[in-house]
Amino acid sequence: RKMERELRAAIDKKVQIETVYQPVYAADTGALNGVEALARWRHPKQGVISPDVFVPLAEELGIISELGRIVLEQACEALGPYQDLTISINASPLELSSDAYPLHVLSTLAKFGVDPDRLEIEITESLQLEEKSQAAVAIATLRAAGVSFALDDFGAGYSSFGRLQNLHVDRIKIDKSFIDALSPGDSSAVVQAIISMARAKGLQTTAEGVETLEQKMVLQSLGCDALQGFLLSRPISRVELHAMLDRPR
Ligand code: G
Ligand code: G
Ligand code: MN
Ligand code: NA
């Protein structure tokens, strides 16, 4: 198909793939903790195409690692100089399973002068982690170098609590569907339970998809660590990010 050829060409030539950045803030102080890097495909005719469309396509085509490399490089280049900010990237299970992944990530960080403890890799519950699998080795290698891991979309899949036993992560990102339910009249019991469980396990929490002041206040009162969502900021371009970061913070 035409779109497949076009995606291959874009990733090959490193054109049209543009990373945007969504700020993540400390829930208590409101300080900027860092940003999540999110890929966009700026198609010359169709406009901006969502990663929900082209990430699965890149996986099918076997070029997801190349896409991940482009996003990591763009993010490191954009954020390198801002030493106090964390960079979060989304990694597909296929990427993590490639032999070259951990060393490539570490050499990219070194190339851009980004300390490994500033990088957080978001993985999903769909990651099937066999013991001693390539992905498990990648996670262990990167964690040993100081990179941290977050479980993305927590609660959206099956057996979420079970996954936490064998996936070594530092943070959980509470799926937007639970944050949506934090509206007047609804119970906050599920989010409260997720946050207490995380705390008991020594994990940090980020709420995703925070859209209202009400949700923000409930999350603050429940002791959620970090907030992300349209209420605070949409994903922004590199130029907008730099304009924001270069203003006094
Ligand atoms: O940015 P947006 O909310 O449209 O992202 C939609 C989905 O695409 C999310 O699940 C997000 O994690 C995923 N995604 C965004 N950028 C990347 C990327 O660079 N790599 C991978 N594997 N997934 C991404
Ligand atoms: O699966 P992942 O968490 O990586 O997905 C991130 C996606 O969620 C991004 O595409 C981003 O645009 C989207 N997103 C971030 N904040 C909000 C929000 O407050 N509301 C909605 N509807 N989407 C959001
Ligand atoms: Mn994510
Ligand atoms: Na998510």
The CA-based angle 41-72-161, given to 5 degrees, is 95
Site to probe by mutation for ligand 1, drawn from 76, 90, 175 as the one with most ligand atoms within 8 Å of Cβ, is 90
pLDDT in tens, 101-144: 999 999 999 999 999 999 999 998 776 766 678 898 999 999 99
Is 121:149 a contact under the CB 8 Å cutoff? yes
Region of 170 (left: φ > 0; alpha: ψ -120 to 50; beta: rest) is: alpha
**pLDDT above 90: percentage of residues in the chain:** 86
Q: Is 209's C-beta closer than 6 angstroms to any atom of ligand 2?
A: yes
Is-contact 163 151, C-beta < 8 A?
yes
Closest ligand 2 atom to residue 51 Cα is 10
Residue 44 pLDDT greater than 90, yes or no: yes
Judge contact between 120 and 86, C-beta under 8 A.
yes
Tell me the fold of 2-245: TIM Barrel (3.20.20)
- Rounded to whole angstroms, the Cα distance separating 33 from 30 reads 9
Residue nearest to atom 12 of ligand 2 (CA): 235
Structure tokens, 52: 């929900």
pTM over 0.95: yes
**55 in contact with ligand 1, CB cutoff 6 A:** yes
Q: Cβ(51) to ligand 1 under 6 A?
A: yes
Rg (CA), the chain: 18
- The CB of 71 under 6 Å from ligand 1? The reply is yes
**What average pLDDT does the chain have?**
94
The residues spanned by each domain of the chain are 2-245
Extract the tokens encoding 112: 């851009």
Q: Which atom of ligand 2 is nearest to the CA of 122?
A: 4
Q: How far is CA 203 from CA 3, 151, 173, in A?
A: 40, 10, 10
Ligand 4 (ion): residues with CB under 5 Å are 152-153, 208
ipTM score of the complex? 0.97
Sign of CA dihedral 231, 248, 237, 115: negative
For ligand 2, atom 11, the nearest C-alpha belongs to 235
Distance CA 14, CA 8 (A): 10
Q: Is the CB of 230 under 6 A from ligand 2?
A: yes
Encode pLDDT of 69-94 as tens digits. Answer: 999 999 999 999 999 999 999 999 99
Distance 7 CA to ligand 1 centre (A): 16
**Averaged pLDDT, 218-243:** 98
3-state secondary structure of 26: strand
Residue 210 CA to ligand 2 center (angstroms) comes to 9
For residue 159, what pLDDT band results from cuts at 50, 70 and 90?
A: low
